[in-house]
Chain A
C-alpha cells in the first residue's frame, strides 16, 4: 500500500487524526505541540501520525488535503485546520462542539491517544 492510501485510511478511519512532527510522547515542533495540547484540552481521542520519518509522507498528505503546513487535524475525515485554527476553535469552545456533533456527547470518555506509524510498501 502506498503512503497516500495509508494516509487516506488514517484520515477517514480516525475520529481525530493529527499529522504532526514527532509523536505525542516526543513532539518535535512547537506548532505540532500547540495543536496536540488544544486537542487534549478538548478531550479529543487523537490518532497521531509522525510525518518526519519520510519527507514523502508530508508531500502526499499536502497533496491530499491541499494544506501546505504541518500540523494538520482532521475530524471524521474533514480537515479542521492547523495549529492556529485548532487553538482558536478550542478557545472559543467550537472545537468541543464540533467533536460532540461528529463523535457524540461521550466522545471524551475514551480519552484514547494512539500513534500510527506509516510504512511504505
Chain B
C-alpha cells in the first residue's frame, strides 16, 4: 500500500499562494500533522514589503479563502516577510 504523500494536501495550497504571490522568493506549505488539515505556510515576497503583519496575513487569508471557508484548512499558521 502506498504511503500517504503529504504533497496531496499541500500542492493545491501552494498553487493558490503561487498565484497570489507571483513574486514570492520563498513559498512553503507544510502539512504539520500529516492529516491534511493543519498547515504552516511561509511566504516571502516583495509585494508584502511595507505592509503591517496584519495586512500581510490578510493577503494570505485572501489567497486561501476557499480552502479556509470549505473546511479543508482546519488550522493555519502563517509566517510572512516582505522581500527587500
A residues with CB within 8 A of B? 31, 66-69, 79-85, 88-89
Contacts and interface: CB of A to CB of B under 8 A. Distances in A.
Contact of B54 (A31, A68, A69, A81): A81
A89 B53 contact: yes
A30 B44 CA distance: 25
Nearest to B78: A84
Interface string B57-82: 11001000100100000011111000
Q: How large is the interface on B (under 10, 10 to 19, 20 to 34, 35 or more residues)?
A: 10 to 19
Interface of B is mostly: helix
Nearest to B75: A31
B68 A68 contact: yes
Contact of B77 (A67, A79, A84): A84
B22 to A, nearest CB: 23
B54 A85 contact: yes
A84 B78 CA distance: 6
Nearest to B68: A68
Contact of B61 (A68, A83, A85): A68
Contact of A66 (B53, B58, B78, B79): B58
B23 to A, nearest CB: 22
Contacts of A88: 53, 79
Nearest to B79: A84
8 tightest Cβ-Cβ pairs between the two chains A and B: A85-B53, A84-B78, A81-B54, A68-B61, A84-B77, A68-B68, A79-B54, A81-B53
A69 B76 contact: yes
A68 B53 CA distance: 15
